[in-house]
Amino acid sequence: MEQEVNAPCPTCGDADGLRLRTHIDEIPYFGEHTQVTLLCVACGWRQTDLIPAEAQTPTGWKLEISSPRHLTARVVRSTACTVRIPELDLEVAPGASSTGYVSNVEGVLQRFLDVLDIVERDVVAHGDLPEERAALDLLRMRLTMTMAAVFDAPVTLELLDPSGRSLILDDDASQRELTA
């Protein structure tokens, strides 16, 4: 179902471009969900969230990425979820522009690489500092090696979701209840 939204786009300000799309679907191993997408036809901005049919318990998920099979593990991230790779001190926290997605571990690692590209362009634009460049190169190397299934130093993917709507679908993934 698609509806027009009577509000300006938060990115481009177009007053008539926002659309709200909803889609109900069954996600294997995760149950019935409603995907809600708000998008602007003028500039392409979008925000997506996955809302379960049933209330969930705040949950944390963890997977040590140590096998090529782990790269294909399904990852469901809600807009409330923090995604972390503690060994690399990388974290994506939820915010106003946070989006939910269904991907796999390799896709999540690629998202981190995409952000590193943005940070690197910013470092170069504001005067390339050797220490910052070296740190970015090390992060890029570790992520790239993991994506290439080279596991000299495995990394851990963690999802921390107070809404309980995120998960990692893999036999080696562990789940725990989040407490305050």
Domain boundaries, the chain: 1-54, 55-180
pLDDT in tens, 89-103: 999 999 877 888 889
Percent of the chain with pLDDT over 70: 96
pTM of the model: 0.76
Decide whether 1-54 matches 55-180 in CATH topology.
no
Instruction: Name the residue with higher pLDDT: 167 or 49.
Output: 167
Pick from 14, 44, 39, 30: nearest CA to 164: 30
Contact, 158 vs 42, CB < 8 A? Answer: no
Pick the CATH number of 55-180 from 2.60.120.10, 3.20.20.70, 2.60.120.1040, 3.40.50.720: 2.60.120.1040
pLDDT in tens, 51-73: 778 778 999 999 999 999 999 99
Look at residue 28 in the predicted model and tell me its pLDDT: 67
Architecture of domain 1-54: Single Sheet (2.20)
Look at residue 30 in the predicted model and tell me its pLDDT: 62
Contact, 83 vs 177, CB < 8 A? Answer: no
Cα–Cα distance for residue pair 163/79, rounded to 1 Å: 9
Pick from 54, 30, 85, 56: nearest CA to 177: 56
pLDDT in tens, 118-166: 888 888 787 777 888 889 999 999 999 999 999 888 899 999 999 888 9
Cα–Cα distance for residue pair 5/22, rounded to 1 Å: 13
Look at residue 132 in the predicted model and tell me its pLDDT: 86
Mean pLDDT of the chain: 89
Look at residue 116 in the predicted model and tell me its pLDDT: 92
